[in-house]
Amino acid sequence: MKATIWHNPRCSKSREALAILQEAPGLDVEIVEYLKTPPARAEIAAWYKRAGMTARQGLRTAEPGAKALAGASDDAILDAMAAEPILIERPLVSTDKGVRLGRPPEKVREIL
């Protein structure tokens, strides 16, 4: 099975989720450093849909740019995430079984 992780190597939760993936037997892990290779708006929306999340639930509220999105629609949040990928909460992991936000990192086990 293949897993794709939107990863930020500076984030401890992202590193922990990646370690879980790398320890899973027979798992082919694709690492996407989403700050260097930002996903398109449509891809962000598709991943959230598969995760059963709204864009607001996937917003990294600790980032300064998130404050301006306090009353924004999900469409506006997706636009902002595509323009500033630092606003995407990480790590996000996708497999054939679904998408999970790895907070806490152990949540990625649900789709392995």
At the topology level, CATH places domain 2-111 in Glutaredoxin (3.40.30)
pLDDT at 48: 98
Distances (CA, A) of 103 to 17, 54, 72, 79: 9, 15, 23, 23
Q: What is the mean pLDDT of the chain?
A: 97
C-alpha span between 49 and 43 (Å, rounded): 10
Choosing from 11, 29, 31, 112, the catalytic residue is 11
Active site residue 11: yes
99 confidence band (pLDDT: 50, 70, 90): very high
69 confidence band (pLDDT: 50, 70, 90): very high
pTM score, two decimals? 0.94
- For 60, the token pair is 């990294």
